[in-house]
Structure 1
């Protein structure tokens, strides 16, 4: 029986696969204890305890993007965080450290290396983060969510998925149809009407929201109902709009707690291409128009590239998205054969069993250490 410590946080892109993996580990016969390391700066302080997992905190060590006094303080802050992380590994009697990226990962990796604890990495993005780039050089095993992530000795296994998403991905066609009808009913949507799901992520996306609002009248006139996740800050006093002729409705919501239910209801999605969204939509076979965030290092466009190349989705640049372009892309919702082909392509590319596969690998690494 082994003790596993997982490190990752900052955003849902890191915490969701961490939690999915932790849940798989807790169900594993070879595991005695699972705990997590995070920082007060990230989302992990809320979502990890809510998932019923133990969480130890260490100080965050953000890396300033410009030369400054803060940059000069990084070595001191890093040394303190490494010391604190090493104390956690010792207290938890860690047999293996599993890293998912974020501010917490670098000190946790360095602490594990210094303490002789083997490291396993899972990288969620097609463009790897700095901590995972560094630690991949000495990690025992490296796994990725995308097939073309440039990390040494990496093995593509897909993204550890939340249980509800994994179960949806594994449904057969008959069960999927029944789930679609039930999900639409739960949202108050027409069970038999073409359904577009729109989401710009947990906070919404202005460009996507604006394009959909601009195209709304024509979408409804064309008989397409829209489940629009605007984001909590953007929903305001928005109310349901129904076309008096076709009966198609635009349903605005601020947030959806269970996105698997929204995926199940939809025929087509328009979304940002964060790693979690790309993998989940592909795995459940939901054809998607990806609109990458135009900032950062281009990772969102890279995230979508393998799914787009396989035919499971299409890519539209943020600068090119307006009401006219959105209507053009959504026309495929009226072509069931085209949607079915996209669905098969996505499901064929992204495996749904990554959490269990990663858990098995983690236990194998930890068991090997104990047997020495």
Structure 2
């Protein structure tokens, strides 16, 4: 319900059900709340499962469906989206929302269409290096596009004056963990963090432990490893690493991910946009192993390539991610006094820890102009 005590309008946000879409929306929502705005987040059932991210944030769970598939699948999806549009319209009208920010993912389509049907300004945010399918469909309705990277493929003929690089908003838990790169020398501990992102990565549990066991004993004795393993037996993995002389902690999930990122010398991870934003905000180098195959997963490959070309890490295709290859790569990186610290500096140079504030500034500028500037004017 609307907050009658709020002196500033309500801003609606729409996000898909993955962490890569929901976490940036959460970061913006909390920034807007801090500025006195009311907020509401429209998502779907998967997004609603991120209870910690949604704590204290009004949110609406809408029916949602992808438009992928054959004719019958598309017809069913269209009916589901239509139901989502009607439900979103009702909520936007009830809360007297003044603007909607869409963060991609197919569940963001219905709220965006609902907002436009009510004549509300629509801002889109793109986390990746290529416009997502949802944002491609919605771009013609948008007043402005905010991007995470300097260049984003797929924007077509959209007015460049309405494209603003804000960076990708990151959670407060990540921002609070920012700090200097940990001391890195020839004798001290070597902290390795292995995480699979919101979709997990069973391949890391298969490849990383045997790769570490192949390292020289002197390196193994210095390692302090945090490994996220959601499948299989985390305790057995931890026991096998410790039997190899490695100080290891293996868990299905790390509640203190910010702290572990700050302390890490190197991260092994997927290459989702939210993961990349977290690493850049803190300034930590990574070995990026993007999700395999094509389609939307190609976004991770492009993200990994972009970050590797910028010197912020290394891109390894999953087909090449073997225990032997990883062990050789780790031995080379850990033996060099400069490669990891240099990559950390490159990552930090790309980071936008103020991305949520930049995006909130864009929201405020659009609101200020909406009363006097015709729809579609430059942001």
Normalised to the residue count of structure 1, the TM-score between the two structures is 0.87
Cα RMSD for the two superposed structures: 2.4
Among candidates 31, 47, 59, match of residue 43 of structure 1: 47
Native 8 Å contact 1:220 1:250 kept in 2: no
- The alignment status of 1:12 with 2:22, answered yes or no, reads no
Distance in structure 2 (CA, Å) of the matches to 1:370 and 1:3: 16
Distance in structure 2 (CA, Å) of the matches to 1:43 and 1:78: 16
Runs of at least 5 residues in structure 1 that lack an aligned partner in the other structure? 181-190
- The alignment status of 1:25 with 2:26, answered yes or no, reads no
Aligned to 1:262: 260
Aligned to 2:108: 105
- Provide, for residues 128-164 of structure 1, a one-character-per-residue CA deviation record: whole Å limited to 9, x for no partner: 2222112222211111122222223332221101112
Aligned to 1:345: 346
- After superposition, the Cα gap between the structure-2 partners of 1:366 and 1:299, relative to the gap in structure 1 and judged at 3 Å, is same
Aligned to 1:361: 362
Native 8 Å contact 1:14 1:102 kept in 2: yes
Aligned to 1:94: 97
Deviation at 1:336, TM superposition (A): 3.0
Aligned to 1:325: 325
Runs of at least 5 residues in structure 2 that lack an aligned partner in the other structure? 1-7, 374-379
Native 8 Å contact 2:202 2:231 kept in 1: no
Distance in structure 1 (CA, Å) of the matches to 2:243 and 2:370: 67
- Provide, for residues 288-331 of structure 1, a one-character-per-residue CA deviation record: whole Å limited to 9, x for no partner: 11111103421111112221111010101100111111112212
- After superposition, the Cα gap between the structure-2 partners of 1:209 and 1:362, relative to the gap in structure 1 and judged at 3 Å, is same
- After superposition, the Cα gap between the structure-2 partners of 1:279 and 1:211, relative to the gap in structure 1 and judged at 3 Å, is same
Native 8 Å contact 1:234 1:254 kept in 2: no
Normalised to the residue count of structure 2, the TM-score between the two structures is 0.85
Distance in structure 2 (CA, Å) of the matches to 1:235 and 1:355: 38
Partner of 1:60: helix, strand, or coil? coil
Distance in structure 2 (CA, Å) of the matches to 1:12 and 1:89: 23
Distance in structure 2 (CA, Å) of the matches to 1:367 and 1:348: 32
Distance in structure 2 (CA, Å) of the matches to 1:86 and 1:346: 41
Deviation at 1:226, TM superposition (A): 4.2
- The alignment status of 1:141 with 2:139, answered yes or no, reads no
- Provide, for residues 220-248 of structure 1, a one-character-per-residue CA deviation record: whole Å limited to 9, x for no partner: 72234242433333344323456689x54
Deviation at 1:267, TM superposition (A): 0.6
Of stretches 362-371 and 84-93 in structure 1, the one that deviates more from structure 2 is: 362-371
- The alignment status of 1:283 with 2:292, answered yes or no, reads no
Deviation at 1:278, TM superposition (A): 1.6
Native 8 Å contact 1:7 1:108 kept in 2: yes
Among candidates 190, 193, 208, match of residue 189 of structure 2: 193
- After superposition, the Cα gap between the structure-2 partners of 1:193 and 1:236, relative to the gap in structure 1 and judged at 3 Å, is closer
Partner of 1:64: helix, strand, or coil? coil
How many residues align structurally? Answer: 352
Native 8 Å contact 2:228 2:254 kept in 1: no
- The alignment status of 1:3 with 2:10, answered yes or no, reads yes
Among candidates 141, 150, 164, match of residue 155 of structure 1: 164
- After superposition, the Cα gap between the structure-2 partners of 1:99 and 1:199, relative to the gap in structure 1 and judged at 3 Å, is same
- Provide, for residues 15-41 of structure 1, a one-character-per-residue CA deviation record: whole Å limited to 9, x for no partner: 110101101001114x2x11111222x
